[in-house]
Amino acid sequence: MRVELLSLVFAALCGLVVSQTFPDPLNITGPFFFVHDPSLVQRQTDGKYFLFTTHDKAGIITADNLAGPWTEVGSILPNNSSIPLPGRDDIWAPDVSYHNGQYYAYYSVSTFGSQDSGIGLATSYTMEPGSWFDHGLVINSTTGDNYNCIDPNLIVGLDGVPRLSFGSFWADIFQVELAYNFQNVTSVPEQISFNSTAPQAEEGSFVYKHGEYYYLFLSEGTCCGFNASNLPPPGDEYKVYVGRSISPAGPFVDAKGTPMTETGGTLVLASHGNVYAPGGQGLYYDTTWERDIFYYHYIPVESPDPYSDTWASLGLNGVDWSSGWPVLTSL
């Protein structure tokens, strides 16, 4: 109750009109663990949950049940990435998925505000710590490019072509095709989303197929570095938008028909209650719950250091697709 009251007071003071409500995330148990730009996978063999996160050299957190208890168990790259760029010892935004009998983890090597960035690939048959093999660089960007090679996401469409989406700031979200070895780039980067409204830069893209459509989710706004006494104007913080297409390569449009390359996007999730600046999102089909699960990180309003991304946490919700667009539900 106190958290909800604080949020309403903050909204009133800033002139925010609350026009949409969102469900609270699932309550999870276990000791606190830092989560930012999460990737959540349920293991094929036994249904065990593996959660991967930015920092801690692509940290690995596991649980036998979705609600926990969750436990930190290690890292994907405990000995750093083989990519010879600054940030190789501080891995960002791992994206993990299962293909061809093994797990593929695309990851980012960069430093804050830099375009000298690389996306690498590691693979494992089990996802356990110590089982990952680093294949090194897949694609990189340098100063002067109109894209930044971080926040990777792999989608394999019905045509069987692996595609890697990526991007953060600059001209936002791009996509390339990969060879069937999932490592060699076979096309030039093509822009698939762009927001021209400052300061709503886009990042954290995630493409997910449901029914006849491919849905492009992305995060917009300020992600982190918040000061409780000097927060961004309401709405400028992280939130999640979506567009859809009949092709994994786009063009993607929002529910009003606006192209995602022309500042389109339908709102999926924004700050509410104890949840501030949600983003870094993804989806997977849970074989235990027999439904799609939407996961993301958020900054708790109520924490030992309110609004501090040091306490970034895991959010979990269900998805209602009945309208043809993703609407979050409680779990």
Comparing 44-53, 160-169, 198-207, 276-285, the range with the smallest average pLDDT is 198-207
pTM of whole model > 0.75? yes
Angle at 142 between CA 136 and CA 145, to 5 degrees: 125
Q: What is the pLDDT of residue 156?
A: 98
Look at the block and give the residue holding tokens 């409204």.
197
Residue type for position 93: A
Task: Give me the chain's average pLDDT, please.
Answer: 94
The answer on pLDDT for 11 being more than 90 is: no
The answer on pLDDT for 9 being more than 60 is: no
Q: What is the pLDDT of residue 200?
A: 78
Q: Annotate 281-293 with three-state secondary structure.
A: EEEEEECCCCEEE
**Sequence ranges of the domains in the chain:** 38-329
d(CA 262, CA 140): 25
Q: What is the mean pLDDT of residues 149-163?
A: 97
Q: What is the pLDDT of residue 19?
A: 53
At 245-264, the pLDDT tens digits run 999 999 999 999 999 999 99
Q: What is the pLDDT of residue 96?
A: 98
Identify whether the C-beta of residue 33 lies closer than 8 Å to the C-beta of residue 61: yes
**Residue in 95, 172, 202, 203 annotated catalytic:** 203
In our burial notation (b when 16+ CB lie closer than 10 A, e otherwise), range 259-298 reads bbbebbbbebbbbbbbbbbbbbbbbbebeeeeebbbbbbb
Q: Percent of the chain beyond pLDDT 90?
A: 92
Identify whether the C-beta of residue 156 lies closer than 8 Å to the C-beta of residue 181: no
Q: What is the pLDDT of residue 7?
A: 41
Question: 17 is written with which tokens?
Answer: 């009109």
At 33-45, the pLDDT tens digits run 999 999 999 999 9
CA dihedral sign of residues 274, 289, 75, 32: positive
Q: Percent of the chain beyond pLDDT 70?
A: 94
Short-list 117, 116, 122, CA closest to 135: 122
Class of domain 38-329: mainly beta
Q: What is the pLDDT of residue 158?
A: 96
**Residue in 37, 90, 172, 286 annotated catalytic:** 37
Q: What is the pLDDT of residue 2?
A: 34
Short-list 225, 224, 228, CA closest to 305: 228
Comparing 63-67, 86-90, 140-144, 200-204, the range with the smallest average pLDDT is 200-204
Question: 63 is written with which tokens?
Answer: 């649980």
Q: What is the mean pLDDT of residues 206-232?
A: 96
**Does residue 135 sit in helix, strand or coil?**
strand
pLDDT band at 17, cuts 50/70/90? very low
The answer on pLDDT for 12 being more than 80 is: no
At 262-312, the pLDDT tens digits run 999 999 999 999 999 999 999 999 999 999 999 999 999 999 999 999 999
Question: 282 is written with which tokens?
Answer: 């993804």
The answer on pLDDT for 68 being more than 50 is: yes
Q: What is the mean pLDDT of residues 117-142?
A: 98
- Is 203 annotated as catalytic? yes
d(CA 93, CA 243): 21
Identify whether the C-beta of residue 326 lies closer than 8 Å to the C-beta of residue 211: no
